[in-house]
């Protein structure tokens, strides 16, 4: 049975990494002593070692160890043997490029479908959708495809921002960009605000966190959905 937390962000303003999710993660990874970390997105261009060491700290608080996928000689076997998987944020283009290069996208999908608990934040959440086309990131590398894991039947826009009526910025809003996407693509998109996540338990998908989410369905006016809502209608 699929067991996933697909979170908008790893860190909320004024708190430490994953601090707001630690109680959830105790339950989510209750059967895992060691979590396999996929550090490929490299926020700010930091090294895989630096990134792994940084996110290992909050897991120590809940009695879990973290090991970076980059330290394994056989990444496919490491994913198959993993007790739990965490894919961190950073640049989605870099992440997806590396997943294709190492030929492990399908292996991750199979592992999660077979019940390995998965946590994604930011870029690691983007890849859970049908494609990565609704990322906010700069295309600094060119992956072979924009198709991703397809573990949920929609696309995800982490870090979703509402227009600020007091801003003098004249550029496109996040909503405008997603509407542009849906001129050419028909899949739904969920705009996840900071501190929100999608919980996946088998076939049940639920919005969690303290904030509502913005839903974009092809041919419809975007609308809000409240926390704890069932997202099964987006299938």
pLDDT in the model for residue 216: 98
Q: 208 CB contacts (<8 Å, ≥6 apart)?
A: 24, 196, 197, 198, 199, 227, 228
Domain count, the chain: 1
pLDDT in the model for residue 14: 78
Query: Which residue segment(s) compose the domain that 25 sits in?
Result: 3-234
pLDDT in the model for residue 171: 66
pLDDT in the model for residue 77: 98
Nearest to residue 208, comparing CAs of 3, 1, 43, 8? Answer: 8
**What CATH number did the domain enclosing 183 receive?**
3.40.50.880
Per-residue pLDDT in tens (0 to 9) along the chain, 235 residues: 999 999 999 988 778 889 999 999 999 999 999 999 999 999 999 999 999 999 999 999 999 999 999 999 999 999 999 999 999 999 999 999 999 999 999 999 999 999 999 999 999 999 999 999 999 999 999 999 999 999 999 999 999 998 777 776 656 899 999 999 999 999 999 999 999 999 999 999 999 999 999 999 999 999 999 999 999 999 7
- Residues with a known catalytic role: 122, 137, 159
d(CA 47, CA 6) in angstroms, rounded, equals: 24
Q: Provide the 8-state DSSP code for 147.
A: B
């Amino acid at each position: 049975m699929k067991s996933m937390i697909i979170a908008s962000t790893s860190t909320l303003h004024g708190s430490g990494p994953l601090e707001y999710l630690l109680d959830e993660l105790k339950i989510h990874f209750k059967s895992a002593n060691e979590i396999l970390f996929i550090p490929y997105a490299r926020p700010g261009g930091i090294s895989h070692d630096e990134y792994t060491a940084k996110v290992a700290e909050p897991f120590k608080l809940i009695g879990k160890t973290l090991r970076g996928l980059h330290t394994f000689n056989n990444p496919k076997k490491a994913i198959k043997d993993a007790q739990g998987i965490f894919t961190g944020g950073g640049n989605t283009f870099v992440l997806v490029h590396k997943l294709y290069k190492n030929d492990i996208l399908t292996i991750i999908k199979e592992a999660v479908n077979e019940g390995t608990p998965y946590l994604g934040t930011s870029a690691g959440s983007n890849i859970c959708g049908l494609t990565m086309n609704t990322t906010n990131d700069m295309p600094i590398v060119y992956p072979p495809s924009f198709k991703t894991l397809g573990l949920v039947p929609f696309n995800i826009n982490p870090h979703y921002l509402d227009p600020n009526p007091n801003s003098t910025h004249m550029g496109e809003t996040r909503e405008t960009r997603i509407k542009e996407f849906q001129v050419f693509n028909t899949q739904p998109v969920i705009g996840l605000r900071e501190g929100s996540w999608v919980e996946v338990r088998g076939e049940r998908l639920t919005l969690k966190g303290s904030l509502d989410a913005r839903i974009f369905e092809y041919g419809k006016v975007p609308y809000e959905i409240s926390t704890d809502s069932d997202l099964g209608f987006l299938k």
